[in-house]
Amino acid sequence: MPLPAARTPLAELTPPIALGALDGRYRGAVAPLVDHLSEAALNRARLHVEVEWLIHLTTTEVVPGADHLSADEQAALRSLVPDFDAAAIEELREIEAETVHDVKAVEYYLRRRLAEILDAGRDGDSDRTERLAELVHFACTSEDVNNTSYALMVQGAVTEVWLPRARALVDQLSGMARELAEVPLLAHTHGQPATPTTMGKELAVLAWRLTRQLDRVGGAAYLGKLNGATGTYGAHAVAVPEADWQEVSRTFVERLGLTWNPLTTQIESHDWQAELYADVARFNRVLHNLATDMWTYISMGYFAQVRGQGTVGSSTMPHKVNPIRFENAEANLEVSNALLDVLSSTLVTSRLQRDLTDSSMQRNIGTALGHSLLALDNVSRGLAGLDAVPEAMARDLDANWEVLAEPVQSVMRALAARGVPGMTNPYERLKELTRGRRIGQAELVDFVRGLGLPAEEEARLVALTPASYTGLAARLVDHVG
């Protein structure tokens, strides 16, 4: 039977019910991004850029004869940004309902606040207020404000939220690698038993890969521009032809903490965003690899999930503890990458000097990073809930003595190269012994003793076990620090 036609309309309930999982079920894990990548955060960043542009114009005396702002007035203007609150958000919403233009609404909002600040400090000098108000958003196109705002928002979201979480996860993984550095593990290549390694070394491989991607993300450049409607400084040069507008633009952008882009159309080209999102997506893909490997190790019994945490693994099978953290991470990484990939591929293209596809697209940045952040949280919690089971790893090693065919034939090859007789065709002889069937310790020892090896090599190979055949694996973990 379908849902009843007459039902309570959930969209009309208050407080509003979230449409997406990030603002509903998973809000707690991603809430820090709201401070950087929400619509309110965008308007706050716009206000910051507008305030700083006004201060920059007045302090550098770009416009001859323009009034100066006192230190107290500058401080009062700058305080608008940290004090941006629910009342400010509501006032901006009301202004935008009239302007039907988000950046213009921020301009009008700042004009109101500027008038209040100047009236409070100068006994209502309306002429001065009107003169300074004309420098708010002076010679700017909306994209001068938007591109710098987005650069600041993404920079804050990545450096203050995403990167610290990602680095903490890699540190956690590296710690596990060090703890398990010497725990022998039967490797599986193509799903088949292969040369033994250690669990620590395998985790270290993933930590190393993730670290490389974090280094790339950490080294990202965040570009900004302020050069007018088509990137020509047309209005600037006509309004104040004697000013060095390129220098004014460069110093302003750099004082925001961004890298100046000297050549653009109406929009900053977003290439830096494409580069950054590609690097984050690559990190996500390596993390996805970690999640699937951990899931597989759990299924093989190499890790036990910590019980007694009050969780229910299955609604019908009481014995189950499902690897849900890693499965949840996989799904969220896939959603994140789908968004990051489309951001990377579409933001680098703008028809001629401007189209608005980037405006809608950039509003999904928070969702893209949010799903990645949620995955980081799940992987971290999943790793924290694991106990290694060396006994299970040892059982699989002891059941696969045929993996020692590799070192035996390698020793024979080295001896043959030195001219020791009887060491020819080692690969073929070991293949005949081991391929397609399991052998045990006794069979391998008998085989080795029948090869006619020099005593030292024979003793070394007879003493070798799958668990001790891990090469330099434990020492390699040192590379993750």
Burial of 216 (0-12, 13-18, 19+ CB in 10 A): middle
Question: What would the pLDDT profile of 364-384 be if each residue is shown by its tens digit?
Answer: 999 999 999 999 999 999 999
Record the tokens describing residue 273, joined without a space: 């965003």
pLDDT for the residue numbered 335: 98
Q: Which residues of 447-465 are buried (b: 16+ CB within 10 A; e: fewer)?
A: bbeebebeeebbeebeebe
pLDDT of 348 higher than 60: yes
* 290 and 237 belong to one structural domain: yes
* 124 and 217 belong to one structural domain: no
Measured at the CA of 74, the angle between CA 69 and CA 80, to 5 degrees, comes to 135
pLDDT of 197 higher than 50: yes
CATH number of the domain encompassing residue 287: 1.20.200.10
* 437 and 352 belong to one structural domain: no
In a domain, 479, yes or no: no
Question: 319 pLDDT band (50/70/90 cuts)?
Answer: very low
Question: 123 pLDDT band (50/70/90 cuts)?
Answer: low
Task: Give this prediction's pTM.
Answer: 0.93
* 295 and 357 belong to one structural domain: yes
How many structural domains is the chain composed of? Answer: 3
pLDDT of 307 higher than 60: no
pLDDT for the residue numbered 171: 98
Q: Where do we find the tokens 């910590």?
A: 306
pLDDT of 324 higher than 70: yes
* 159 and 127 belong to one structural domain: no
* Residues involved in catalysis: 190, 314
pLDDT for the residue numbered 311: 47
pLDDT for the residue numbered 14: 87
Of 106, 101, 269, 297, nearest to 187 by C-alpha is 297
pLDDT for the residue numbered 129: 93
**Over residues 352-356, mean pLDDT:** 91
pLDDT of 109 higher than 80: yes
pLDDT for the residue numbered 3: 76
Q: Is the pLDDT higher at 33 or at 12?
A: 33
* 349 and 222 belong to one structural domain: yes
**385, 303 in Cβ contact below 8 A?**
no
pLDDT for the residue numbered 120: 79
* 195 and 248 belong to one structural domain: yes
What integer best gives the mean pLDDT of the chain? 93
**Over residues 125-152, mean pLDDT:** 95
**200, 181 in Cβ contact below 8 A?**
yes
* 166 and 183 belong to one structural domain: yes
* 115 and 162 belong to one structural domain: no
pLDDT for the residue numbered 124: 60
pLDDT for the residue numbered 172: 98
Question: What would the pLDDT profile of 215-243 be if each residue is shown by its tens digit?
Answer: 999 999 999 999 999 999 999 999 999 99
In a domain, 448, yes or no: yes
* 122 and 167 belong to one structural domain: no
* 164 and 292 belong to one structural domain: yes
Share of the chain above pLDDT 90, in %: 82
Rg (CA), the chain: 32
CATH number of the domain encompassing residue 45: 1.10.275.10
- DSSP state string for 171-226: HHHHHHHHHTTT-EEEEEETTEEEEEEEHHHHHHHHHHHHHHHHHHHHT---EE--
In a domain, 203, yes or no: yes
Question: What would the pLDDT profile of 437-446 be if each residue is shown by its tens digit?
Answer: 778 899 889 8
pLDDT for the residue numbered 361: 94
Question: What would the pLDDT profile of 237-271 be if each residue is shown by its tens digit?
Answer: 999 999 999 999 999 999 999 999 999 999 999 99
**3-state SS, residue 303:** strand
**Which domain does 53 fall in, by range?**
32-133
**404, 55 in Cβ contact below 8 A?**
no
Q: Using the 3D structure, point to which of 366, 390, 414 is the last residue of a domain.
A: 390
pLDDT of 434 higher than 90: no
**Over residues 390-416, mean pLDDT:** 93
* 236 and 307 belong to one structural domain: yes
Question: What would the pLDDT profile of 15-69 be if each residue is shown by its tens digit?
Answer: 888 889 999 999 999 999 999 999 999 999 999 999 999 999 999 999 999 999 9
Q: Which residues of 121-150 are buried (b: 16+ CB within 10 A; e: fewer)?
A: eeeeeeeebeebbebbbbbbbbbbbbbbbb
In a domain, 395, yes or no: no
Record the tokens describing residue 301, joined without a space: 């019994």
pLDDT of 308 higher than 90: no
